[in-house]
């Protein structure tokens, strides 16, 4: 049984009196539970982007963050009001109780990936929600088609106790209903947000990067073996026969977890493959954590964006979302998110671990400029609906509705 909710009359009095932080409560106060910058994590960037969108809205106070940490010290900004040690089970209960004591919070937003919370499959997050009396929304960044019993139990319990669950693809709506038994009316699909960053034209960016008149392919994001980049490198051997100036740019650091466990083994393997195939002039590594501007500029100057990932069940890809958001021609393996986002001719799907198919797809695009322009236009049409200006409106509306919903106080486990 969940802890009892704060009596409505007491909460209303507290709101009328204001808060200990000096906030006026005619505005919504929201706290996010998530990793947060400067921790290197996709959820941290996502949360930061969403907070930036909410911060500019008149009916929201600046959102706060409960940062989930991995035994490291980070130089957080003032928006981080408390922290949870990822592997300390007691921290989850203690933090929930501390938040319950506050009378100013209207809503908690939990960013969910199994790997950022402690215990098997992140089960410790249930200690947090079981003790929480403030309504919460959970945003699922991963929805597995074939979960383990514990993974299913975690998602099911989060869904049952939440005020609403959010997923980022249509196919995962069905999974949440059929695999996890979450009530259909409790689920909302909102696209992965993509920031708007003004840039120069593609050709101007190419000139600035020293790649004038070269066909550019790219992949960005944290490097890890599941990205399948070795197959794209192999494909370049055939691409340069017909496109001798083509360049494949691989942008991003090794994933922090991979770096901690095995170091730079994967990057070294990729670099050795480039040398073996004699592709030094045609493959470029940019080994750094990219700023948002650098990510967007790398996309805008690209003619083709590649996601040759190996995991078929990948429900969402932030990097592919960025590619769609900027109307790039995308060639990808048919993992679930790519199959949905590139349907209807918005991109090219090729088989897993198939460099020949990648090569064929790349050449089809580079050798047909008119088709390339048409595919870019079709992709950009949906991409514009994924910009944070649009996505932020949907989240803001959801948070307003859930924060003000009178029905939540009656929810019990």
CATH number at residue 210: 3.40.50.2000
Q: What is the pLDDT of residue 25?
A: 59
**3 lies in some domain:** no
**2 lies in some domain:** no
Residue 122 is encoded by which pair of tokens?
Answer: 């992140």
Other beta carbons within 10 Å of 215:
22
Q: Are 252 and 290 in contact (CB under 8 A)?
A: yes
Q: Would you state the torsion angle of the CA atoms of residues 366, 368, 372, 374, taken in this order, to the nearest 10 degrees?
A: 180
Q: What is the pLDDT of residue 282?
A: 98
**13 lies in some domain:** yes
Residues 117 and 233 in one domain: no
Q: Rounded to the nearest 10 degrees, what angle do helices 318-325 and 292-300 cross at?
A: 60
DSSP SS3 for 28: strand
Residue 340 is encoded by which pair of tokens?
Answer: 């949905």
Residues 168 and 259 in one domain: no
Residues 178 and 248 in one domain: no
Question: Residue 184 CA to chain centroid, in angstroms?
Answer: 23
| Measured distance CA(323)–CA(295) in Å, rounded | 10
Structural domains of the chain, count: 2
Q: In this structure, what DSSP letter does residue 63 have? A: P
Give backbone dihedrals phi and psi of 349, rounded to 5 degrees, phi first.
-105, 135
Give backbone dihedrals phi and psi of 358, rounded to 5 degrees, phi first.
-60, -45
What are the strands, taking DSSP E only, across 23-179? 30-34, 64-69, 80-85, 107-112, 136-140, 164-167
Range of the domain at 284: 202-386
Q: Would you state the torsion angle of the CA atoms of residues 366, 247, 286, 327, taken in this order, to the nearest 10 degrees?
A: -10
| Measured distance CA(214)–CA(221) in Å, rounded | 22
Distances (CA, A) of 45 to 306, 315, 341, 397, 398: 21, 18, 21, 21, 20
DSSP letters for 120-145 = GGGTTHHHHHHH--S-EEEEES---S
**398 lies in some domain:** yes
Residues 48 and 154 in one domain: yes
Q: Are 30 and 59 in contact (CB under 8 A)?
A: no
| Measured distance CA(133)–CA(5) in Å, rounded | 5
**151 lies in some domain:** yes
Q: Are strands 136-140 and 164-167 parallel, antiparallel or unpaired?
A: parallel
| Measured distance CA(71)–CA(357) in Å, rounded | 43
| Measured distance CA(77)–CA(45) in Å, rounded | 14
168: CB partners within 8 A, 6+ apart: 140, 141, 189, 190, 191, 192, 315, 316, 321
Where the chain has pLDDT below 70, the residues are 1-25, 406-413
**226 lies in some domain:** yes
b/e code 77-98 from CB counts within 10 Å (16+ = b): eebbeebbbbeeeebbebbbee
Residues 314 and 373 in one domain: yes
Residues 271 and 400 in one domain: no
Question: Which of 230, 295, 306, 242 shows the shortest CA–CA distance to 268?
Answer: 230
Q: Rounded to the nearest 10 degrees, what angle do helices 202-209 and 292-300 cross at?
A: 110
**277 lies in some domain:** yes
Give backbone dihedrals phi and psi of 111, rounded to 5 degrees, phi first.
-85, 130
Q: The pTM is what? A: 0.88
Residues 257 and 277 in one domain: yes
**1 lies in some domain:** no
Residues 252 and 164 in one domain: no
Work out the burial of residue 213: count CB atoms within 10 Å of its CB; fewer than 13 is exposed, 13-18 middle, 19 or more buried.
Answer: exposed
Residues 218 and 235 in one domain: yes
Residues 131 and 252 in one domain: no
Residues 379 and 346 in one domain: yes
Residues 241 and 189 in one domain: no
Cis peptide before 48 (omega within 30 of 0): no
């Amino acid at each position: 049984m969940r802890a009892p909710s704060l009596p409505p009359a007491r909460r209303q009095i507290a709101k009328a009196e204001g808060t200990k932080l000096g906030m006026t409560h005619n505005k919504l106060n929201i706290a996010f539970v998530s990793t947060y910058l400067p921790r290197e994590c996709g959820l941290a960037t996502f949360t930061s982007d969403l907070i930036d969108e909410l911060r500019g809205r008149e009916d929201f106070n600046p959102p706060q963050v409960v940062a989930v940490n991995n035994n490291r010290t980070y130089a957080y900004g003032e928006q981080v009001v408390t922290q949870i040690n990822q592997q300390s089970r007691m921290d989850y209960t203690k933090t929930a109780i501390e938040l319950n004591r506050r009378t100013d919070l209207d809503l908690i937003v939990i960013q969910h990936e199994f790997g950022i919370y402690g215990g098997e499959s992140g089960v410790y997050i249930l200690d947090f929600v079981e003790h929480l009396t403030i309504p919460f929304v959970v945003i699922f960044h991963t929805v597995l088609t074939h979960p383990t019993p514990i993974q299913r139990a975690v998602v099911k319990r989060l869904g049952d106790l939440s005020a609403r669950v959010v997923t980022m693809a249509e196919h995962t709506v069905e999974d949440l209903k059929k695999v996890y038994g979450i009530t259909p009316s409790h689920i909302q699909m909102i696209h992965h947000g993509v920031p708007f960053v003004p840039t120069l034209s593609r050709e101007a960016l190419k000139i600035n990067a020293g790649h004038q008149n070269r066909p550019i392919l790219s992949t960005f994001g944290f490097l890890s073996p599941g990205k399948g980049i070795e197959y794209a490198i192999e494909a370049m051997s055939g691409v340069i026969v017909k496109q001798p100036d083509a360049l494949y740019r691989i942008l991003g650091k090794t994933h922090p977890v991979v770096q901690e466990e095995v170091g730079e083994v994967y990057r070294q393997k990729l670099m050795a493959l480039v040398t073996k195939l004699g592709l030094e002039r045609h493959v470029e590594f940019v080994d750094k954590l990219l700023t948002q501007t650098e990510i967007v500029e790398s996309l805008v100057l690209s003619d083709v964006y590649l996601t040759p990932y190996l995991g078929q069940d990948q429900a969402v890809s932030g990097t592919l979302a960025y590619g769609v958001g900027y109307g790039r021609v995308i060639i990808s393996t048919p993992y679930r998110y790519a199959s949905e986002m590139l349907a209807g001719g918005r991109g090219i799907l090729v088989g897993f671990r198939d460099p020949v198919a990648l090569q064929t797809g790349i050449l089809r695009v580079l050798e047909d400029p008119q088709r390339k322009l048409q595919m870019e236009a079709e992709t950009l049409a949906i991409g514009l609906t994924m910009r944070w200006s649009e996505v932020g409106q949907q989240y803001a509306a959801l948070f307003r509705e859930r924060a003000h919903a009178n029905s939540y106080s009656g929810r019990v486990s």
